[in-house]
Structure 1
């Protein structure tokens, strides 16, 4: 107040004016409550920012079986055929070896109902022909052995004859020399006689006698020369005969061996034909057993891919689908390629199955409700067609719902390491991947698994 006026304000007026001003200036009670609440929320928010948050990688997938043999499989026929009878209905439980479908033959070469008997007859005929060829081969071998022995005997005989003729030629040659000497002696005596006859020492009769002797020795020499010529010709003939024996028996033995080789070739062909018939018999027996399509294992017939009677099937064409009984369930989860290096085998996963209501706090699995625990079992080494990588997750503790069926949808979280909440918020705002850290130690992993189970 400036106190410019001389008038004095009464005390009552002063008191009433101060009260009014204070009432205008004072803060409402509700505002104080709001401030306290905001302060409390701020303190809680700050505390929450420093709470541990478990990082995770999420993915979608389906329920499957861990073993490939327990997954749904298509029942296929091995041979082409025509459906004659269905022995099962969709949804029916079948045991291993139960008849599913009965087929009939489509190929004309298997139409004959007596085909096994016909094949037995062909096999028996081929065996008899094979025995005949074997007997012929044995006979020809014996013939070759006999010809070889006769060849040796004939050669020995011909050689002896050559030796004899050569000796005869030698003897005749010696006789010629002796006769030539006799002729020379007779000529010398005749010459001496003629000289002596001129001297009157020898008579004319003696001269004539010596001339006759010379004539006889000359005639005998000619006879011995003719004999030598005959002996030489016989020697040549025996040598020719020796050579002809070699050629003759070589030709006979070669022909016998050729016939035996032909018989052995026929034996080989017969054995080949027998093998083909035996193979054909085995194929026919196996094919006849394939007219009945049986269940490869226990399971449920899910869907018939061929309906009705009389429909034809090609080789390896699917007939129906079989779901094995009580498969060991697993979950196929697909995650992005950038997250695969952060996942190791043995990591804990939380799973939410379609049809089971759940409340999931991905960063605080201990307060999640309705989710199920799993463990990473397999990480594919290559990506799938959609560019993501497949994980196989198996049950970790407890049992998954018994009502689960193969093919059900699943949403899962692969649990990683703990970080503060503020770091996770900052990472999410910046779209960074989870922290890349080493795989947890065994003791640390066990502790986290226990907390997740709780």
Structure 2
């Protein structure tokens, strides 16, 4: 009945007298519902006090633990032109295997015998260096000989000066003797003239004495000339010393100038030899770069430059290669607000894309299809996406990761934090509070390390 009217039938008729009325109006409908509601409230109360593991959920990708194990691209250090491929995509190569051959595109390297000709130039220049060194030795010997000859010449000139000075002294003595003789002859002549005037000397005797006087005067003049000549010789001998010094100074200066020129030319030639050696080494190294080889064992993923005859610049990507030996890891990104809650060595649960999983984020022990990992590195600088990068490695004490996982596949991560009651987690979520800030127990970690 809808009981729309204000006149109720139950006031005039007792419905419980009828069989259907007895079934309907005498039955307690809410008894079972009260029991269910009571049991539900008790169960809910118990559940609110169950432990809940706080966590930080994120996404990531599979990578490798070491940088040299990650996929890499091969480049050429020199520009070139592709001539021949020795591999194809999907091939496995070992370290040092030749992948492709290229040719030069720069005109200065077109000569196939460039290294050989440079080597010949280097040999010739090296011979020039030896020749300049020999010339330096010869000029040094010449300078030593000139210095020795100058010393002897100066000694000889000094001896001549001494001889001239002694001769000057001797001639000066002879001059004084001639002067005395001339004076005596004049005195004798004057005396003879006086005696002749007195009649004591004959004219013949006077003439003989006059003749002797003339001879004495002539000897005096001759001795004076000889003395002056000897003095000139002494001056000339002294002048010879200065001339010898000046002459040998010019010769030594010229020889030293030639020596310095030879040394400078030798040094310049050594510089050219060094440049040629560098060029030769560069040419040989460049020749080896005409073959692109595998830097490590791995699989050829994709050829970026594929055509024969295709040219490229230095540093341009040629192909991708994936190393064959690698250790898997996961890189995930966390928000800056969650970064203080992440610590190295803490455990993180991982779900790989393509692997079925049943996840209870707060109860990791009852989840299925997740795998264990540990934090090994945390970046200190924020990434381009506004989050911090965290690197994970497999937990050796947990289930081994699937062998079919490939680098680059996606993952979902759950970083496990502190255990709290469910009611506290609900209260935190309702108020949008972050998880509890905590620090790992370092004393226990150090004890575990010592025991290990």
2:355 is equivalent to residue 356 of structure 1? yes
- Looking at structure 2, the residues matched to 445 and 260 of structure 1 have their Cα atoms a distance apart, in angstroms, of 75
After the TM superposition, which of the residue ranges 230-239 and 201-210 deviates more from structure 2?
201-210
Question: What aligned pairs does 1:238-387 form with structure 2 within 5 A after superposition?
Answer: 238-387=237-386
RMSD after superposition? 2.5
Over 3 Å counting, the alpha-carbon distance change for 1:28 and 1:76 in structure 2 is: farther
- Looking at structure 2, the residues matched to 424 and 259 of structure 1 have their Cα atoms a distance apart, in angstroms, of 96
SS at match of 2:112: coil
Which whole-Å deviations, capped at 9, do the CAs of 1:239-271 have from their partners, x for residues lacking one? 222111111111112111211222222222222
- Looking at structure 2, the residues matched to 444 and 363 of structure 1 have their Cα atoms a distance apart, in angstroms, of 24
Question: What aligned pairs does 1:155-170 form with structure 2 within 5 A after superposition?
Answer: 155-170=154-169
Which whole-Å deviations, capped at 9, do the CAs of 1:132-187 have from their partners, x for residues lacking one? 32332232222222222221221121111111111111111111111122222223
SS at match of 2:146: helix
Shift of 1:193: 3.5
- Looking at structure 2, the residues matched to 31 and 415 of structure 1 have their Cα atoms a distance apart, in angstroms, of 44
Task: Look up the match of 2:129.
Answer: 130
Over 3 Å counting, the alpha-carbon distance change for 1:139 and 1:310 in structure 2 is: same
Gaps of 5+ in 1: 1-15, 448-454
Task: Look up the match of 2:423.
Answer: 422
Shift of 1:119: 2.0
- Looking at structure 2, the residues matched to 109 and 18 of structure 1 have their Cα atoms a distance apart, in angstroms, of 117
After the TM superposition, which of the residue ranges 225-234 and 125-134 deviates more from structure 2?
125-134
Task: Look up the match of 1:221.
Answer: 220
SS at match of 2:283: helix
Task: Look up the match of 2:187.
Answer: 188
Task: Look up the match of 2:44.
Answer: 45
SS at match of 2:329: strand
- Looking at structure 1, the residues matched to 119 and 254 of structure 2 have their Cα atoms a distance apart, in angstroms, of 36
After the TM superposition, which of the residue ranges 188-197 and 399-408 deviates more from structure 2?
188-197
Question: What aligned pairs does 1:73-152 form with structure 2 within 5 A after superposition?
Answer: 73-152=72-151
2:403 is equivalent to residue 402 of structure 1? yes
TM-score (ref. length: structure 2): 0.89
- Looking at structure 2, the residues matched to 275 and 299 of structure 1 have their Cα atoms a distance apart, in angstroms, of 40
SS at match of 2:339: helix
Shift of 1:203: 4.0
- Looking at structure 2, the residues matched to 323 and 310 of structure 1 have their Cα atoms a distance apart, in angstroms, of 26
Shift of 1:418: 0.8
Task: Look up the match of 2:9.
Answer: none
Over 3 Å counting, the alpha-carbon distance change for 1:198 and 1:333 in structure 2 is: same
- Looking at structure 2, the residues matched to 407 and 321 of structure 1 have their Cα atoms a distance apart, in angstroms, of 14
Gaps of 5+ in 2: 1-12
- Looking at structure 2, the residues matched to 185 and 441 of structure 1 have their Cα atoms a distance apart, in angstroms, of 134
Task: Look up the match of 1:13.
Answer: none
How many residues are paired up? 432
Which whole-Å deviations, capped at 9, do the CAs of 1:368-419 have from their partners, x for residues lacking one? 1111111111011111112210100111123111111111111111111111
Which whole-Å deviations, capped at 9, do the CAs of 1:281-315 have from their partners, x for residues lacking one? 22222111111101111111111111111100111
SS at match of 1:419: strand
SS at match of 2:434: coil
Shift of 1:124: 2.7
Question: What aligned pairs does 1:16-35 form with structure 2 within 5 A after superposition?
Answer: 28-35=27-34
- Looking at structure 2, the residues matched to 125 and 170 of structure 1 have their Cα atoms a distance apart, in angstroms, of 67
Q: Is the 8 A contact 2:16 2:25 kept in 1?
A: no
- Looking at structure 2, the residues matched to 18 and 123 of structure 1 have their Cα atoms a distance apart, in angstroms, of 128
Shift of 1:190: 3.1
- Looking at structure 2, the residues matched to 79 and 162 of structure 1 have their Cα atoms a distance apart, in angstroms, of 79
SS at match of 2:166: helix
SS at match of 1:96: coil
Over 3 Å counting, the alpha-carbon distance change for 1:18 and 1:120 in structure 2 is: closer
Which whole-Å deviations, capped at 9, do the CAs of 1:75-100 have from their partners, x for residues lacking one? 11111110011111112221111111
TM-score (ref. length: structure 1): 0.89
Q: Is the 8 A contact 2:54 2:417 kept in 1?
A: yes
- Looking at structure 1, the residues matched to 340 and 252 of structure 2 have their Cα atoms a distance apart, in angstroms, of 83
- Looking at structure 2, the residues matched to 298 and 54 of structure 1 have their Cα atoms a distance apart, in angstroms, of 43
Task: Look up the match of 2:8.
Answer: none
Shift of 1:317: 1.1
Q: Is the 8 A contact 2:57 2:413 kept in 1?
A: yes
Shift of 1:425: 0.9
